[in-house]
Amino acid sequence: MIEVEGLTKHYGNVLAVNNVSFRVEPGEILGFLGPNGAGKSTTMKILTCFMPANSGRATVAGFDVFTQSRKVREQVGYLPESVPLYTDMKVEEYLNYRVRLKGVPRSERKGRVGEAMERCMVTDRRNKLIGTLSKGYRQRVGLASTLVHNPPVLVLDEPTIGLDPNQIRQVRDLIRNLRGDHTVLLSTHILPEVEVVCTRALIINRGQVAANVPLGENRESLYTDARLRIEARGEAESLRRAIDAVPGASVETANSELDGVQRFLVRMAHDTREAVSSAVIRAGGTLRELRMEGNTLEDLFVKITTAEKEESAHAESAAPAAA
Amino acid sequence: MRKVPPLLQRELSAYFYSPIAYVVLVVLLAGTGFFFNAVIEWTREASIRHLLGYMQFIILLLTPLISMRLFSEEYRQGTIETLMTDPVSDWEVVLGKFLGAWTFYLFLLIPTFGFVFLLKQLGDPEMGPIWSGYIGLALMGTMFMAIGMFFSATTKNQIIAAILTIVSLLTLQLIGFATKLTDRWYASVCKYLSLQEHMESFEKGIIDSRDLVYYLSFAALFIFLTVRLVEGRKWK
């Protein structure tokens, strides 16, 4: 649904997006992650035809963002990071305006606006001036104006920023409900949100794609660095052998405590949690705790984005020496 | 061009929501009223012929207040981003804004018919030159709004947009004096560009195609330049 190939964009001397390529399949919700200034917003602005790239190619719903810009814009709902709104308009009036700009036929407009207000929970403020609304309401009015023409592709730049935890959950549910019918490109800094909502995450760092992480049912590749922390009661040696016998699991450290509890740290090649727990039981042990560590998106994010920072710090300190 | 009506409507409603509309209206009516009184006292003539020049100048001073927000406000609030990523063309956006500002300007002229009404009560004015005078003002409005819109598209700072607009319009207003100071080759160019030069025949009741061409070509030029500017911003 979205195809990006070798996209590059610089602002003056600053390289914002550097040869980025990725694909988003129809119905996917792709989490777009990266530190501030990594090039997420710039990529989104290019995909929504707000600005052109310096080189590379991008298509949205089969249309080229540069040569078929208007077609692309008909297919896309875009919520910019700053959630720009006309503060002098009323909520419903604003949505009526946007739905006309999007080219929705007259007969469908009323229903679409009503539905968007309902979905984004702003119906109770329909006759209020946008300027008088709280941050949370404005955010949702922005989201409603993005969804109002029911576009097949949604590009949302940090849609949950500034919302309280309840509203975040509501917006998250809303986005999750879009899966299947809509293709969503979602940027955010809230990593647990991505794990809950997205089918895949793309980590962007310093203008480049640093990682492509499948989430949901096929998050296997996330387990390469995962460890299992196990607490069990039972005979130390037989427990150890039982765990080691599970394919893809190997015991790194084992401690016998005085209270009779055995503690293991197990390295996993893939998700072996069920297999390990039943192995412990079969070996006559009783399981007290089984916890996975080091496999969260956050761990991966930190690893990727700080590793490169250290590298560049290295390069920068080396450069004067070379000169 | 299907998207022009909603854009126009949005611009027009933005004017009436903002206090600026009422300030502009009050200043226009007060200024026109003042000169209406002064001109009548002085000429004892039931016409607006001498009043039109003053109205033109008041409108010149008020134009930036109308036009400065057109694009600057979108840039400042960031709404330019949603506007330009909606399926509308640059031409539609620019024409919608231009027509919105111009329609608002025409609305502003309506209350000044009160003075015409007063004139009819007091004497027996010839209506021909009055109508042609208003047609002249309406056409002049296309030029003023287009110039103001262009400068609004250059910056997100409304004050800067206003200053650039007023400086340009004043230059066009005052350039006519150059013709009195010199008879070099550019005197005729200055004469042609001068704003005053072109209001005169409307005042007399004549609709001259040269004046039509003057106002409308200025309007078209600046509408075109605004479109180029809006397109060009994307490349920065």
Q: Which of A186, A220, A254 is at the close of a domain?
A: A220
CA B164 and chain centroid, separation: 14
Domain of A45, CATH number, reads 3.40.50.300
Nearest-neighbour CA in chain A from B24: distance (Å): 18
A107/A28 Cα distance (integer angstroms): 30
A312 pLDDT more than 50: yes
Q: Are B162 and B68 in contact (CB under 8 A)?
A: yes
DSSP assigned state of A322: H
Overall size of chain B counted in residues: 236
> CB–CB of B50/B43 below 8 Å?
yes
Q: Is A138 found in the same domain as A26?
A: yes
pLDDT tens per residue across span A84-137: 999 999 999 999 999 999 989 999 999 999 999 988 888 999 999 999 998 888
Q: Do A76 and B85 touch (CB under 8 A)?
A: yes
Q: What was the pLDDT predicted at A323?
A: 36
CB contacts, 8 Å: B1 with chain A: none
Distance CA B134, CA B60 (A): 15
Secondary structure element (H or E) that encloses residue A311, with its range? helix A297-322
Contact B81/A50, CB-based, under 8 Å? yes
Place of tokens 């033109």: B56
Given A156, A191, A220, which residue is the final one in a domain?
A: A220
Residue A176 lies in a domain: yes
Q: Chain A partners of B86 at a C-beta cutoff of 8 Å?
A: 73, 98, 101-102
Percent of chain A clearing pLDDT 90 (strictly above) = 24
Same domain, A122 and A148: yes
Distance from CA of A102 to the nearest CA of B (A): 6
In-domain check, residue A71? yes
My answer on whether A277 and A213 are in the same domain is no
Contact A145 B82 (CB under 8 A): yes
Rounded to 5 degrees, what are φ and ψ at A304?
Answer: -70, -45
**Residue A243 belongs to a domain:** yes
Three-class secondary structure assignment of chain B: CCCHHHHHHHHHHHHHHCHHHHHHHHHHHHHHHHHHHHHHHHHCCCCCHHHHHHHHHHHHHHHHHHHCHHHHHHHHHCHHHHHHHCCCCHHHHHHHHHHHHHHHHHHHHHHHHHHHHHHHHHCCCCHHHHHHHHHHHHHHHHHHHHHHHHHHCCCCCHHHHHHHHHHHHHHHHHCHHHHHHCCCCHHHHHHHHCHHHHHHHHHHCCCCHHHHHHHHHHHHHHHHHHHHHHHHHCCC
CB atoms near residue B222 (< 10 Å): 25
pLDDT at A221: 54
- Chain center to CA of A175: 11
pLDDT at residue A299 greater than cutoff 50: yes
Do residues A207 and A94 share a domain? yes
Please tell me the predicted confidence (pLDDT) of residue A320.
45
Instruction: Please give the average per-residue pLDDT across A49-62, as a whole number.
Output: 89
Which residues in B lie closer than 8 A to residue A101 (C-beta atoms)? 3, 6-7, 83, 86-88
Specify if A310 maps to a domain.
Answer: no
Q: Domain check: are A71 and A131 in the same one?
A: yes
Determine the Cα–Cα distance for residues A205 and B30; give it in Å rounded to an integer.
Answer: 61
Query: Span A278-301, mean pLDDT?
Result: 81
* Inter-chain residue contact A98 with B86, CB threshold 8 Å: yes
Q: In terms of pLDDT, which residue wins out, B160 or A40?
A: B160
Confidence at residue A318, expressed as pLDDT on a 0 to 100 scale: 46
| Other Cβ atoms within 10 Å of B217 Cβ, number | 11
Q: Tell whether A92 and A233 lie within a shared domain.
A: no
Low-confidence ranges of chain B (pLDDT < 50): none
Q: Using CA coordinates, name the residue in chain A closest to B93.
A: A101
Would you say residue A321 has pLDDT above 60?
Answer: no
Q: How confident is the model at residue A189 (pLDDT cuts 50, 70, 90)?
A: confident
Report how far residue A260's alpha carbon sits from residue A235's, in angstroms, rounded to the nearest whole number.
Answer: 9
Q: What value does the mean pLDDT of chain A take?
A: 84
Give the pTM. Answer: 0.84
Angle at B93 between CA B91 and CA B98, to 5 degrees: 90
Give domain status of residue A323, yes or no.
Answer: no
Same domain, A247 and A262: yes
| Pairwise CB contact (< 8 Å): B79 & A85 | yes
Nearest chain A residue (CA) to B81: A50
- Higher local confidence (pLDDT), A157 or B178: A157
Let me know whether A181 and A284 are in one domain.
no
Q: What's the pLDDT at A100?
A: 93
**A209 and A146 co-located in one domain:** yes
- ipTM score of complex: 0.87
Contacts of B13 in chain A (CB under 8 A): 89, 93
Q: How far is B82 from chain A (nearest CA, A)?
A: 7
Question: Is A307 part of any domain?
Answer: no
Testing the interface with B: which of A86, A90, A158 to mutate, by most B Cβ within 10 A? A86
User: Which chain B residue has the Cα nearest residue A94?
Assistant: B10
pLDDT surpasses 70 at A183: yes
DSSP state for residue A198 in the 8-state scheme = -
Pair A156, A146: CB distance under 8 Å: yes
Chain B residues with CB inside 8 Å of A84's CB? 77-82
- Which band of pLDDT confidence, cut at 50, 70 and 90, is reported for residue A258? confident
CB atoms A80 and B235 under 8 Å: no
Q: Do A64 and A157 sit in the same domain of this protein? A: yes
Q: Which of B155, B150, B180, B176 shows the shortest CA–CA distance to B165? A: B150
Rg (CA), chain A: 24
Contacts of A68 (CB under 8 A, 6+ apart): none
Answer yes or no: is pLDDT of A143 > 50.
yes
Nearest alpha carbon to residue A32 among A147, A174, A198: A198
- Give me the residue from A49, A70, A80 closest to B82, CB to CB: A80
Residues of A in contact with B10 (CB under 8 A): 86, 89, 97
Grouping H, G, I as helix, E, B as strand and the rest as coil, residue A121 is coil
Q: At what angle do helices B195-204 and B209-233 cross, to 10 degrees?
A: 140
State the pLDDT at residue A308. Answer: 55
Q: Please give the residue range of the domain that contains residue A242.
A: 227-293
* Cα–Cα distance list, A9 to A12, A305, B236 (Å): 9, 20, 11
Question: What are the domain boundaries of chain B?
Answer: 4-229
C-alpha A250/C-alpha A64 separation (Å) is: 49
List, for residues A206-252, the tens digit of each pLDDT value. Answer: 888 877 877 765 555 555 667 788 888 888 888 888 888 888 888 88
The pLDDT value recorded for residue B153 is 95
Is the Cβ pair A82, B86 closer than 8 Å?
no
Establish if A305 belongs to a structural domain.
no
Same domain, A215 and A232: no
| pLDDT confidence band for A322 (50 / 70 / 90) | very low
Residue A277's CATH number: 3.30.70.100
Residue A286 falls inside a structural domain: yes
Residue B22 backbone zone (phi > 0: left; psi -120 to 50: alpha; other: beta):
alpha
Q: How many domains does chain A have?
A: 2
Q: Are residues A109 and A160 in the same domain?
A: yes
Is residue B93 within 8 A of residue B83, CB to CB? The reply is yes
Radius of gyration of chain B (CA): 19
* Nearest by Cα to A51 from A35, A32, A66: A66
Query: Which of A162, A196, A220 delimits the end of a domain?
Result: A220
